[in-house]
Amino acid sequence: MFKRTLLVLPVVALLSSTLLTGCDDSKTTATKTVEQPTQKILRIGTNPTFAPFEFQGTNHELVGFDLDLIHALGKQMGYKIEVSNLGFDALIPAISSGNIDAAISGMSITEVRKKAINFSNPYYTSGLSILVHSDNNDIKSLKDLEGKKIAVQIGTTGAEKASTVKDATVVSFNNSNEPFMELNNKGVDAAISDHPVIAYYLVQGGSGKIVGERMNAEDYGIALKKGNDKLTKEFNDALNALKQNGEYDKIYKKWFGS
């Protein structure tokens, strides 16, 4: 019995030591910082050749109305946004194949495209506008341009619209800024161009004023994979929230003025 008692005591001591050590480890573990879950990521495609919606800034970073909006939407939805530079014609295939989750690139919502992809609710209404001199109070609509000189960019929908104006002289230019320069020099009575292009020109300090109703209006939407109704709803809810809390207006004013 004596020998067995001697044999048991060391074992009991060893077990006691182990249990005490385990308790100390437990305390150490309990004080460790709990790691935060990894933020969800949304992979967004864009084609940065369409100022002021998306273009490369002075440091080659991607900037524009669409970029500001998608980052604000991502924050509202609880996502981290990762943007990829893609060709415009590659955006829909990239969505359909799952290489990106969505695209924002001044993409018009059309019935043909809706057969291939989902669209969010419209976030911008584009179209054509008329720009005239700030002191011109006679031209208020397309009708008032009859017999006048109109500056346009060649090959655009603005040029097409100007060609329908009775007895008007249409003066065509190669790039989007030249019609505004011609108007500023008083070589023409008005310029017709895409509304966002004119609005961006004015917010950058250009002269003149927009008159009349917006023509050939078309809506831009965020493109998503066909059938991804859950993410589409998330975008719609976030867009609605930004419009209600004033964040959308803040971004709009930055790029297009009031």
Among the residue ranges 22-26, 180-184, 185-189, the one predicted with the least confidence is 22-26
Measured at the alpha carbon of residue 88, what is the angle toward residues 180 and 76, in degrees to the nearest 5? 90
Per residue in 75-129, pLDDT tens? Answer: 999 999 999 999 999 999 999 999 999 999 999 999 999 999 999 999 999 999 9
- Is the pLDDT at 68 greater than 90, yes or no? yes
For residue 16, the model assigns a pLDDT of 43
* pLDDT confidence bin for 257, thresholds 50/70/90: confident
Superfamily of domain 128-215: Periplasmic binding protein-like II (3.40.190.10)
SS3 16: helix
**Domain range annotation of the chain:** 40-125+219-256, 128-215
Per residue in 121-150, pLDDT tens? Answer: 999 999 999 999 999 999 999 999 999 999
**How large is the average pLDDT for residues 167-173?**
97
- Is the pLDDT at 6 greater than 80, yes or no? no
For residue 205, the model assigns a pLDDT of 94
Per residue in 18-55, pLDDT tens? Answer: 444 444 444 444 445 556 567 799 999 999 988 899 99
- Residue 78: alpha-carbon gap to chain centroid: 16
Domains 40-125+219-256 and 128-215 share a fold: yes
For residue 180, report the phi and psi dihedrals to the nearest 5 degrees: -70, -40
| Cα 40 from Cα 57, distance rounded (Å) | 27
C-beta neighbour count of 43 within 10 angstroms = 17
Superfamily of domain 40-125+219-256: Periplasmic binding protein-like II (3.40.190.10)
